[in-house]
Amino acid sequence: MSDTFFTAPPHWQWLVILYFFFGGLAGGSYLIAVLADFFGDASDRVLARLGYYVAMPAVGVGGLLLIGDLTRPERFWHMLVMSERGRPILKYWSPMSVGSWGLLVFGGLAFLSFLGALAESGRAPAALSVLRHGPLARLIAVLGGLGAFFLAGYTGVLLAVTNRPVWSDTPLLGLLFLVSANSIAAAALILLGRWQGVGSSSMARLARMDRWLIVLELLVLIAFVASLGPVARVWVSAWGVLLVGVVLAGLVVPLALHWRPGLFGSLTAPAAAVLVVVGGFMLRVVIVLAAEAV
Amino acid sequence: MAEPMGFFTDTTVCIGCKACEVACKEWNQLPSTDGGANTLSGHSYDNTRQLDGIHWRHVKFIEQFAGDRAGGRWLMMSDVCKHCVQAGCLEVCPTGAIIRTEFDTVVIQSNVCNGCRDCIAACPFGVIGTNPVSGTAQKCTLCYDRLQVGLTPACAKACPTESIQFGPLAGLRRTARARVERLQGQGRPRAYLYGDDETILGGLNSFYLLEDRPEVYGLPAAPKLPSRNLVPGSLWSGLGALLVGLVGLVSFRQRRMEENGGKGGEGRRNV
User: Would you kindly state where each structural domain of chain A is located, as residue ranges?
Assistant: 3-292
pLDDT of residue A265: 87
Is the pLDDT at A262 greater than 90, yes or no? no
Percent over 70 (pLDDT), chain A: 100
Provide the 8-state DSSP code for B184. Answer: H
Q: How confident is the model at residue B264 (pLDDT cuts 50, 70, 90)?
A: very low
The sign of the CA dihedral B177, B178, B183, B188 is positive
CB A144 within 8 A of CB A110: yes
DSSP per position, chain A: --GGGGS------HHHHHHHHHHHHHHHHHHHHHHHHHHS-GGGHHHHHHHHHHHHHHHHHHHHHHHHHSSSGGGGGGGTB-TTT--B---TT-HHHHHHHHHHHHHHHHHHHHHHHHHHTTSS-GGGGGGTSSHHHHHHHHHHHHHHHHHHHHHHHHHHSS--TTGGG-S-HHHHHHHHHHHHHHHHHHHHHHHTT--HHHHHHHHHHHHHHHHHHHHHHHHHHHHTGGGGGGGSSHHHHHHHHHHIIIIIHHHHHHHSTTTTGGGHHHHHHHHHHHHHHHHHHHHHHHHHH-
Inter-chain CB proximity B224 and A3 less than 8 Å: yes
Best CA proximity match to A159, nearest among B53, B226, B232: B226
pLDDT of residue A293: 86
Closest chain B residue to A49 measured between Cα atoms?
A: B270
Is the pLDDT at B263 greater than 60, yes or no? no
Inter-chain CB proximity A36 and B270 less than 8 Å: yes
- The ipTM of this complex is 0.96
Is the pLDDT at B76 greater than 70, yes or no? yes
Task: In whole angstroms, give the CA distance from residue A151 to residue A26.
Answer: 8
A47-51: long-range pairs with CB below 8 Å, 24+: A47/A189, A47/A193, A47/A198, A47/A199, A47/A202, A47/A206, A48/A117, A48/B270, A49/A117, A49/A120, A49/A121, A50/A189, A50/A192, A50/A193, A50/A196, A50/A198, A51/A185, A51/A189
pLDDT of residue A283: 98
Q: For residue B117, which residues of chain A lie inside 8 Å, CB to CB?
A: 10-12, 71
Chain A segment 92-151 residues within 8 A of B by beta carbon are: 93-97, 100, 132-134, 137-138, 141, 149
Inter-chain CB proximity A96 and B226 less than 8 Å: no
Is the pLDDT at B29 greater than 90, yes or no? yes
Q: For residue A212, which residues of chain B lie inside 8 Å, CB to CB?
A: 247, 250-251
Nearest 5°: the CA angle A27, A31, A36 is 150
Q: How confident is the model at residue B266 (pLDDT cuts 50, 70, 90)?
A: very low
Q: For residue B255, which residues of chain A lie inside 8 Å, CB to CB?
A: 40-41, 201, 205
Is the pLDDT at A284 greater than 50, yes or no? yes
Task: In whole angstroms, give the CA distance from residue B25 to residue B32.
Answer: 8
Tell me the backbone φ, ψ of residue B129, rounded to 5 degrees: -150, 170
Task: In whole angstroms, give the CA distance from residue B55 to residue B74.
Answer: 22
Q: Per-residue pLDDT tens for A75-122?
A: 999 999 999 899 999 999 999 999 999 999 999 999 999 999 999 999
- Residue A1 has its nearest CB partner, among B96, B215, B230, at B215
Task: In whole angstroms, give the CA distance from residue A130 to residue A132.
Answer: 5
Best CA proximity match to A137, nearest among A44, A236, A224, A38: A38
Inter-chain CB proximity A41 and B128 less than 8 Å: no
Q: Per-residue pLDDT tens for A166-202?
A: 999 999 999 999 999 999 999 999 999 998 889 999 9
Task: In whole angstroms, give the CA distance from residue A222 to residue A212.
Answer: 16
Is the pLDDT at B265 greater than 60, yes or no? no
Q: For residue A69, which residues of chain B lie inside 8 Å, CB to CB?
A: 116
Q: For residue B254, which residues of chain A lie inside 8 Å, CB to CB?
A: 205
Regarding pTM above 0.90, the answer is yes
Inter-chain CB proximity B229 and A168 less than 8 Å: yes
Q: How confident is the model at residue B261 (pLDDT cuts 50, 70, 90)?
A: low
A3-292 falls under which CATH superfamily?
Answer: Formate dehydrogenase/DMSO reductase domain (1.20.1630.10)
Task: In whole angstroms, give the CA distance from residue A99 to residue A76.
Answer: 13
Q: How far is CA A81 from CA A77, A99, B97, in A?
A: 6, 14, 11
